[in-house]
Amino acid sequence: MSIVKKIKPLLVALAINSIVQPQVNADEFELSGKVGYEQRYFAEESQYQNQLSRSQASIFFEPELYWEWDEGNSSVTFKPYYRYDEFDAERSHGDIRELSYVYASRDWELRAGIRKEFWGVTEFQHLVDVINQTDGVEDTDGEDKLGQLMLNLSFVRDWGIVDLYLLPGFRERTFVGKEGRLRGPLVVDSKNVSYQSSAEDKHLDFAARWSHSIGVFDIGSYWFHGTNRDPILSLSTTEPDRSPSLQQHYNQMDQLGLDVQATIDDWLWKFETIYRTTDDEDFWAAQAGFEYTYVGVFDTNADLGLLVEYGWDSRGEGDKNSSGASIQNDIFFGSRLAFNDMQSSEMLVGFGADVEHSAFSFIMEANRRFGESVKISLDIRVMQSSEPSDALYSLKSDDHAQLAIEYYF
């Protein structure tokens, strides 16, 4: 089912609400957003047939409309998104990142519509972030998410915040097309999708989360029941005249999650863990580490943060490394430099290595604002592996630099 069909009932409800709402006065209406140009350059020629060569350009547009009334207690946010890619037809795509109504009371809040909900405290992997589906055509880091239709009730109490979520409808993960880079040797077929649930992408998911701050600790825990956001990819049975491809299958899961962050002087201690159960397997996974910040390093205004994290997944034990867990026994080192200048200049450098296999990755993310409205970002990705069974092996020719120029309005 398309995202447009899914949001029709929401649009009708919002329209009725705006008509029958008594004494609605528009206290504030804002239009903002960004438009940008992105250029990728790959260090090597593509290793798979039909892929683009070295250079890849795209443009994107993400406006945001915000309407607030009732002395700030009620608001509507609309944030569409569209990207056009010069080569990859699958990467040329649109989405509604947010179209939601929020009503805020003193000790409770109602949020209804399409939204993005982020959970997690660690830097290099967000295990507990489960509500929104990954927008896989944007990047490989999993940071970009598709909008999710939801009804969220949030209750504020002295002993913590309780969030209840009803999630009608499911979003399939996006994957780059046959012309795109940053993929494996087989293309994922966006039209060949199956589900464990007979309701397919109309299954009603549910989540409940509790979060609280206790002294130096920020704690969150949750239970999620519904469609697994991570697809199982298997070789599709194809016709003789068609190239082999991968089929997506989405099973049902129950997942328990816990995230903890402790702020102690200049130290940030971070921990995330999940336990997931499906009909196919049960497993544990955890990501833990720390970030230490040198404030005013070298007697300047800059702050230098040093990061160390370790990721573990029980699916990588022994001969069980078969379920596609990308981080099974990995260690990460990183450094974050915030210049604290008028241009909001920042840089993050990270290095990850698989403890058991000959595989490593390197990232660099740097950005700086120019004037009041322009931001320029430079990202570098290096992914190397010498073992064909490792997930990074399929991307070993996709090392690249990415330059983005964004104009904010």
**Per-residue DSSP letters for 148-181?**
EEEEEEEEEETTEEEEEEEEES--PPB---TT-S
At 406, list the tokens. 């964004």
Single-letter residue type at 303: D
Over residues 120-146, the mean pLDDT reads: 96
In this predicted structure, what is the pLDDT of residue 241? 67
Over residues 232-245, the mean pLDDT reads: 81
52 vs 17, higher pLDDT: 52
Of the pLDDT bands very low, low, confident and very high (cuts 50, 70, 90), residue 324 is: low
Nearest to 175 by CA among 124, 143, 139: 139
128 vs 26, higher pLDDT: 128
Residue 317 reports pLDDT greater than 80: no
Residue 62 reports pLDDT greater than 70: yes
pLDDT digits (tens, 9 = 90+) for 248-262: 999 999 999 999 999
In this predicted structure, what is the pLDDT of residue 27? 76
Residue 150 reports pLDDT greater than 70: yes
Block residue for tokens 């709402």: 21
Residue 20 reports pLDDT greater than 50: no
Over residues 165-173, the mean pLDDT reads: 97
Share above pLDDT 90 across residues of the chain, in percent, rounded to a whole number: 83
Of the pLDDT bands very low, low, confident and very high (cuts 50, 70, 90), residue 180 is: very high
CA gap 189, 47 in Å, rounded: 19
Over residues 296-304, the mean pLDDT reads: 94
Alpha helices, H only, 310-377 = none
Over residues 262-276, the mean pLDDT reads: 98
User: Could you write out the DSSP letters of every residue in 268-306?
Assistant: EEEEEEEEEE-SS-EEEEEEEEEEEEEETGGGSS-EEEE
Q: Which pTM value belongs to this model? A: 0.89
Of the pLDDT bands very low, low, confident and very high (cuts 50, 70, 90), residue 356 is: confident
Most confident segment among 20-29, 269-278, 384-393: 269-278
Over residues 218-235, the mean pLDDT reads: 97
In this predicted structure, what is the pLDDT of residue 240? 64
Over residues 259-279, the mean pLDDT reads: 98
Over residues 46-70, the mean pLDDT reads: 96
Q: What residues form DSSP beta bridges with 152?
A: 111, 165
In this predicted structure, what is the pLDDT of residue 349? 98
Residue 164 reports pLDDT greater than 80: yes
Please tell me the least confidently modeled range out of 8-22, 52-66, 249-263. Answer: 8-22
For each of the domains in the chain, give its residue range(s) and CATH number, in order of start.
Answer: 33-408 (2.40.160.100)
Residue 355 reports pLDDT greater than 50: yes
Other C-beta atoms closer than 10 Å to the C-beta of 359 total 20
CA gap 217, 368 in Å, rounded: 32
Share above pLDDT 70 across residues of the chain, in percent, rounded to a whole number: 90
Question: With contact defined as beta carbons under 8 Å apart, do 194 and 249 qualify?
Answer: yes
Question: With contact defined as beta carbons under 8 Å apart, do 88 and 180 qualify?
Answer: yes
pLDDT digits (tens, 9 = 90+) for 70-110: 999 999 999 999 999 999 999 999 999 999 999 999 999 99
